[in-house]
Amino acid sequence: MFVHTTNRFGKLLGITCLFFLTQIVYAAPAAKAITFWIDSDKTSSKVINHDVWQDLLDKYLVSDPAGVNRFKYGSALDADHEALKHYIKTLEVIDPRSYNRNEQMAYWINLYNALTVDVVLDAYPVKSILKIGGSFFSPGPWNEKYLDIAGQKLSLNDIEHGILRPIWEDSRIHYAVNCASYSCPDLSATVFTGEDINNQLTEAAKAYINDSRGVTVENEDLLLSKIFEWYQIDFGVNEKELLKELAKYAKPALAKRLAKHNGDIDYDYNWELNGTK
Give tens-digit pLDDT for 36-86: 999 999 999 999 999 999 999 999 999 999 999 999 999 999 999 999 999
CA–CA separation, 153 and 131 (whole Å):
23
Q: Where are the domains of the chain?
A: 1-30, 31-193
**Strand, coil or helix: what is 161?**
helix
| Cβ neighbours of 11 (radius 10 Å) | 10
Q: In terms of C-beta density within 10 A (0-12 exposed, 13-18 middle, 19 or more buried), how is residue 16 classed?
A: exposed
pLDDT, tens only, 174-227: 999 999 999 999 999 999 999 999 999 999 999 999 999 999 999 899 999 999
CA distances from 143 to 73, 159, 161 (A): 22, 10, 11
% of the chain residues with pLDDT over 70: 90
**Strand, coil or helix: what is 176?**
coil
How confident is the model over 125-134, as a mean pLDDT?
Answer: 96
pTM over 0.85: yes
CA–CA separation, 228 and 249 (whole Å):
14
